[in-house]
Structure 1
Amino acid sequence: MTHVSDTFPDPVYRDTVLAPLFDGARTGHAHALRQVDKAHLVMLAETGILTPAQAGAIAGGLRAVWAETDPAAMRYGGDVEDFFFAMEKALKARIGPDLGGRLHTARSRNDIDHTLFRLALKPRVEAALAEGRAALAQLLATAGREAETLIVAYTHGQPAQPTTLGHYLAAVAEVMLRDLARLEAALEIVDRCPLGAAAITTTGFPTDRHRVAQLLGFAAPLQNSYGCIATVDYISATYSALSLLFLHLGRPVQDLQFWSSFEVGQIRLPGGLVQISSIMPQKRNPVAIEHLRHLASQTWARSNAVLDILHNTPFTDMNDSEGETQDFGHQAFDAALRSLRLFGRVMAALQVDGARVARNLRLSCATVTELSDMLVREAGLSFRAAHEIASEVAGAVVAAGEDLSSGGYPHFRRAYQAATGQAPEMDAAAFAQATSAAHFVALRDRFGGPAPAALQPALAGYGAELQALENRAAARAAQNRAAAEALEQSFNQLSGGA
Structure 2
Amino acid sequence: MIDTSKFPNPIYKETVLAPLFEGVKNHYASHMSKINKAHLVMLVETRILSNDQGKIIADALSKIDKDTDILSLTYTGEHEDYFFFVEARLRDLLGDLGGALHTARSRNDMDHTLFKIALRTRAETMLVQVLQLTDALIEKASKEHKTPIVAYTHGQPAQPSTFGHYLGAMIEVLIRDATRLETAINDLSHCPMGAAAITTSGFPIDRERMADLLGFDGPLVNSYGCIASVDYITGLYSAIKLVFIHLGRVIQDLAFWSAFEVSQLYVPNELVQISSIMPQKRNPVPIEHMRHLASVTVGRCDTIVNTMHNTPYTDMNDSEGEVQQAGYATFESGSRVLELLTAFLPACSINADAVQRNTDAACITITELADTLVRDENLTFRQAHEIAAATAKSVIAQNKPLREGYDAFIKAFEAEEGRKTHISDDTFRNIVSVENFIAKRDRTGGPAPIALNTALKSYTNQTSQLHMKQIQRHTKRSDAQARLDVAFSSLMEH
Matching of residues 379-418 of structure 1 within 5 Å = 379-405=377-403, 407-418=404-415
Q: Measure, in 1, the Cα distance between the counterparts of 2:140 and 2:26.
A: 40
What residue number does 1:22 align with? Answer: 21
Q: Measure, in 1, the Cα distance between the counterparts of 2:317 and 2:492.
A: 36
The residue type paired with residue 485 of structure 1 is: A
Matching of residues 4-83 of structure 1 within 5 Å = 5-83=4-82
Aligned 8 A contact 1:239 1:303 in 2: yes
What residue number does 2:84 align with? Answer: 85
Q: Measure, in 2, the Cα distance between the counterparts of 1:106 and 1:287.
A: 56
Q: Measure, in 2, the Cα distance between the counterparts of 1:156 and 1:373.
A: 22
Q: Measure, in 2, the Cα distance between the counterparts of 1:461 and 1:91.
A: 56
For residues 171-203 of structure 1, what are the alpha-carbon distances to aligned partners after superposition, in whole Å with 9 as ceiling and x for unaligned? 110000000000000001111110110000000
What residue number does 1:227 align with? Answer: 225
What residue number does 2:467 align with? Answer: 470
Aligned 8 A contact 1:65 1:94 in 2: no
TM-score normalized by the length of structure 2: 0.99
1:278 CA drift (Å): 1.0
For residues 237-296 of structure 1, what are the alpha-carbon distances to aligned partners after superposition, in whole Å with 9 as ceiling and x for unaligned? 100000011111111111111000100001111111111111111111111211111111
Matching of residues 371-450 of structure 1 within 5 Å = 371-405=369-403, 407-450=404-447
Matching of residues 139-218 of structure 1 within 5 Å = 139-218=137-216
What residue number does 1:281 align with? Answer: 279
In the alignment, which of 251, 264, 267 is matched to residue 266 of structure 1? 264
1:4 CA drift (Å): 6.5
The residue type paired with residue 425 of structure 2 is: A
Q: Measure, in 2, the Cα distance between the counterparts of 1:172 and 1:5.
A: 58
What residue number does 2:325 align with? Answer: 327
In the alignment, which of 245, 248, 258 is matched to residue 247 of structure 1? 245
1:398 CA drift (Å): 1.0
1:6 CA drift (Å): 3.4
Q: For structure 1, which segment, 176-185 or 329-338, has the greater mean C-alpha deviation from structure 2 after superposition?
A: 329-338
1:90 CA drift (Å): 1.1
Aligned 8 A contact 1:259 1:267 in 2: yes
What residue number does 2:128 align with? Answer: 130
1:483 matched to 2:477: no
Q: Measure, in 2, the Cα distance between the counterparts of 1:191 and 1:331.
A: 22
The residue type paired with residue 468 of structure 2 is: N
Equivalent position SS for 1:425:
coil
What residue number does 1:457 align with? Answer: 454
Computed over aligned residues only, the root mean square deviation of the Cα atoms, in angstroms, reads: 1.0
The residue type paired with residue 187 of structure 1 is: I
1:72 CA drift (Å): 0.3
Q: Measure, in 2, the Cα distance between the counterparts of 1:364 and 1:23.
A: 60
1:87 CA drift (Å): 1.1
What residue number does 2:236 align with? Answer: 238
Q: Measure, in 2, the Cα distance between the counterparts of 1:92 and 1:296.
A: 48
The residue type paired with residue 465 of structure 2 is: A
Unaligned runs of 5+ in 1: none
Q: Measure, in 1, the Cα distance between the counterparts of 2:272 and 2:212.
A: 49
What residue number does 1:343 align with? Answer: 341
Q: Measure, in 1, the Cα distance between the counterparts of 2:155 and 2:126.
A: 32
For residues 145-192 of structure 1, what are the alpha-carbon distances to aligned partners after superposition, in whole Å with 9 as ceiling and x for unaligned? 000100000000000000000011001100000000000000011111
What residue number does 2:315 align with? Answer: 317
Q: Measure, in 2, the Cα distance between the counterparts of 1:384 and 1:313.
A: 58
What residue number does 1:353 align with? Answer: 351
Flag as ranges the 4+ runs of structure 1 deviating above 4 A: none
The residue type paired with residue 406 of structure 2 is: Y
Q: Measure, in 2, the Cα distance between the counterparts of 1:287 and 1:140.
A: 25
Aligned length: 494
Aligned 8 A contact 1:49 1:205 in 2: yes
Aligned 8 A contact 1:117 1:326 in 2: yes
Q: Measure, in 2, the Cα distance between the counterparts of 1:453 and 1:339.
A: 32
1:494 matched to 2:484: no
Aligned 8 A contact 1:147 1:165 in 2: yes
Q: Measure, in 1, the Cα distance between the counterparts of 2:470 and 2:2.
A: 56
Equivalent position SS for 2:203:
coil
The residue type paired with residue 33 of structure 2 is: R
Identity percentage over the alignment? Answer: 49
Q: Measure, in 2, the Cα distance between the counterparts of 1:157 and 1:142.
A: 24
For residues 93-135 of structure 1, what are the alpha-carbon distances to aligned partners after superposition, in whole Å with 9 as ceiling and x for unaligned? 1121x11000000000000000000010011010000011111
